């Protein structure tokens, strides 16, 4: 994975750039000390590290605007950062770039129950929003597993998901309004407390744009009333194929569970050894199906799900009888990543989405790849929406294993695309999957996406080196190829 070659001319101007930033953000808001910069050298994708040239921590929207404007004027690249929990390297700094940390934007600005929304600064954590409205029985639905730490600004950048998004949507389905700053310093407001922003759905493009289009400075999200009841059922299957069939049959029966998660044998064993959730160890696939809503509905559906599971060959079924038991069912799944971390020095988490029907094929091919490269793999799976999280086990201290794990991961993602799926369901492309984009998209698709980038950031200064494998100049992308007189369409019916 190569990052854009650092511009030595920019690095040589570091002192001048730091001065310019200090004129905007006084005091400790501009960080130049190497030891302090170390805190920003990587995000959740720790395999890649790079010290930024300088870090700046603005405290107001006006400062963000001025920082971006100044950087644009100086031709300096900017990498925005929230809590730095990205699993795809979205906040990986650049040696010749300014790291723009949004950590000071921590205020909850407005809680509006009458309009069922909350307005916050982007540095507020995902869980912080839910906590702020919990006493009124509300919550914010998307729940990435990093929700204690990750910020809503980062959630916007990555269009974060979580366990409950089949029923309640990703970030993009729960955002009502944004304030953002473009690279030229322009402050824009999109949407608000009403539904559907007027004009083009720019909020839809900005959400999930991985920090390449603008810096979000304020977010309005909708909040939901907590479901009256939630109960979970734990289902074990002798094969992943039967588990997959059961998921399909539940959905075909018209049931959209709040959560529906699958784990394979290695993941079940790792999780059970870690948290003793009471998982059965003699099954190949374990399914957690959570039904939420009014008690009458949950009771009705639990029965139906159990019947479907029996019909699909479940060899184990247990319904949670108490809130403690429901949470215990989830404890194993939620601890799956650290659990795998206990049985292997390092692990590499992938994030492809597949059409669910391809699951048996994908698991089988993944096992063949695992056998070939000698690295084990454990699978956790957002079964409802087909989002796979294969965890590749490796040891970074063994020469070549990181590279082997990455190659294995890339093969898995290519496989996801091959069976009709996509490279990433919720973690983002970042630097990690950047060079695989050409497996999912062809040249014309990527050119059009990059033209959109040009509409927001014509100099390509915001978070370059992420998402797109090849950087084109906007002038080149914008060129229109018209072949005067050569084009005809004799075959098209005319009236």
Site for other proteins in 403-442 (CB under 8 A): 420-429, 433, 437, 440-442
3-state SS class at 144: coil
CA-derived radius of gyration, the chain: 24
Among the listed residues 9, 27, 198, 399, the single contact to other proteins using CB under 8 A: 198
Taking the complex as a whole, the smallest distance from the CB of residue 173 to other proteins amounts, in Å, to 5
Can you spell out the DSSP letters for 57-99? ---SHHHHHHHHHHHHHHT-EEEEESSS--SS-TT---TTEEE
98-127: which residues touch other proteins (CB under 8 A)? 112-116
- In angstroms, give the least distance from the CB of 242 to other proteins: 15
C-beta closer to other proteins: residue 169 or 280: 169
Residue 480 interacts with other proteins (CB under 8 A)? Answer: yes
**322 Cβ partners below 8 Å, 6+ apart?**
none
Indicate which single residue of 26, 278, 345, 355 sits in contact with other proteins (rule: CB under 8 A): 355
The H or E element spanning position 475 is: helix 474-478
In the complex, the smallest distance separating the C-beta of residue 156 from other proteins, rounded to whole angstroms, is: 12
Phi, psi of 142 (to 5 degrees): -60, 135
As given in the structure block, the two tokens for residue 281 are: 């160890």
Residue number, 12 or 296, with CB nearest to other proteins: 296
Partners of 348 in the β-ladder: 392
Among 68-76, 325-333, 367-375, 480-488, the segment contacting other proteins (CB under 8 A) = 480-488
> Quick check: 356 and 244 in contact, CB under 8 A?
yes
Assess 454 for contact with other proteins (CB under 8 A).
yes
Q: Give the one residue of 312, 334, 382, 466 binding other proteins; rule: CB under 8 A.
A: 382
Cα–Cα distance for residue pair 250/245, rounded to 1 Å: 9
Give the per-residue contact string, 137-156, with other proteins (x = CB under 8 A; - = no).
Answer: x-------------------
Q: How far is the CB of 47 from other proteins (least distance, A)?
A: 20
Q: What part of residues 25-84 is at the interface with other proteins (CB under 8 A)? A: none
- Comparison of 62 and 395: residue with beta carbon closer to other proteins: 62
Residue 308 CB, nearest approach to other proteins (Å): 12
CA distance 275 to 335: 8
Q: Coil, strand, or helix at residue 221? A: strand
Which of 60, 186, 364, 367 binds other proteins (CB under 8 A)? It is 186
Selection from 71, 171, 152, 12 nearest residue 464 by Cα: 71
234-273 residues near other proteins, rule: CB under 8 A: 248-249, 251-252, 254-256
Among residues 6, 59, 293, 313, the one that binds other proteins under rule CB under 8 A: 293
Q: Under a CB-based contact definition with an 8 Å cutoff, are residues 285 and 400 in contact? A: no
By CB under 8 A, is residue 201 in contact with other proteins?
Answer: yes
In whole angstroms, what is the distance from residue 329 CA to residue 12 CA? 56
DSSP string for residues in 37-63? HGGGS--S-TT-----SEEE---SHHH
Of 226, 265, 414, 472, the residue at the interface with other proteins (CB under 8 A) is 226
Contact between 321 and other proteins (CB under 8 A)? no
Position 473 contacts other proteins (CB under 8 A): no
**Segment contacting other proteins by CB under 8 A, of 45-53, 68-76, 206-214, 317-325:** 206-214
Residue 12: how many other CB atoms lie within 10 Å: 10
């Amino acid at each position: 994975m190569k990052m854009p070659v650092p511009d030595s001319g920019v690095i040589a101007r570091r002192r001048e750039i730091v001065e310019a930033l200090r004129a905007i953000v006084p005091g400790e808001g501009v960080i130049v000390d190497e030891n302090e910069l170390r805190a920003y050298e990587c995000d959740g994708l720790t395999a890649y590290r790079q010290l930024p040239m300088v870090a700046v921590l603005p405290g107001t929207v006006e400062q963000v605007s001025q920082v971006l404007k100044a950087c644009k004027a100086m031709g300096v690249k900017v990498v925005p950062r929230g809590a730095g929990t990205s699993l795809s390297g979205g906040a990986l700094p650049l040696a010749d770039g300014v790291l723009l940390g949004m950590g000071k934007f921590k205020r909850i600005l407005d809680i509006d129950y009458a309009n069922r929304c909350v307005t916050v600064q982007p540095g507020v954590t995902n869980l912080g929003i839910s906590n702020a409205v919990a006493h009124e029985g509300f919550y914010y639905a998307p729940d990435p597993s990093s929700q204690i730490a990750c910020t809503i600004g980062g959630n916007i950048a990555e269009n974060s998901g979580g366990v409950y998004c089949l029923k309640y949507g990703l970030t993009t389905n729960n955002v009502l309004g944004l304030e953002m700053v473009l690279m030229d310093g322009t402050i824009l407001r999109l949407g608000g407390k009403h539904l559907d922003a007027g004009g083009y759905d720019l909020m839809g493009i900005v959400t999930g744009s991985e920090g390449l289009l603008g810096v979000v400075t304020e977010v309005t999200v909708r909040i939901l009333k907590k479901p009256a009841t939630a109960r979970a059922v734990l289902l074990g299957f002798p094969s992943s194929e039967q588990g997959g069939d059961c998921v399909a049959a539940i959905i075909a029966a018209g049931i959209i569970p709040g959560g529906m998660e699958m784990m394979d044998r290695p993941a079940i064993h790792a999780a059970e050894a870690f948290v003793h959730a009471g998982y059965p160890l003699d099954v190949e696939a374990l399914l957690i199906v959570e039904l939420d809503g009014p008690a009458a509905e949950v009771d009705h559906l639990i029965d139906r799900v159990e019947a479907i599971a029996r019909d699909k060959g479940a060899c184990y079924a247990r319904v949670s009888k108490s809130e403690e038991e429901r949470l215990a069912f989830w404890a194993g799944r939620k601890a799956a990543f650290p659990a795998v971390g206990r049985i292997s020095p390092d692990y590499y988490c992938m994030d492809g989405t597949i059409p669910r029907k391809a699951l048996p094929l994908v698991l089988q091919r993944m096992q063949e790849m695992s056998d070939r490269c000698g690295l084990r793999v454990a699978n956790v799976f957002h079964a409802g929406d087909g989002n796979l999280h294969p965890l590749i086990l490796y040891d970074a201290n063994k020469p070549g294993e990181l590279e082997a794990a990455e190659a294995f991961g890339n093969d898995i993602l290519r496989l996801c695309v091959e069976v009709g799926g996509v490279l990433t369901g919720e973690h983002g492309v970042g630097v990690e999957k950047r060079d695989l984009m050409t497996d999912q998209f062809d040249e014309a698709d990527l050119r059009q996406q990059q033209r959109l980038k040009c509409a927001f950031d014509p100099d390509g200064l915001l978070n370059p080196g992420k998402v797109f494998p090849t950087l084109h100049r906007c002038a080149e992308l914008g060129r229109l190829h018209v072949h005067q007189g050569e084009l005809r369409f004799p075959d098209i019916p005319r009236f």
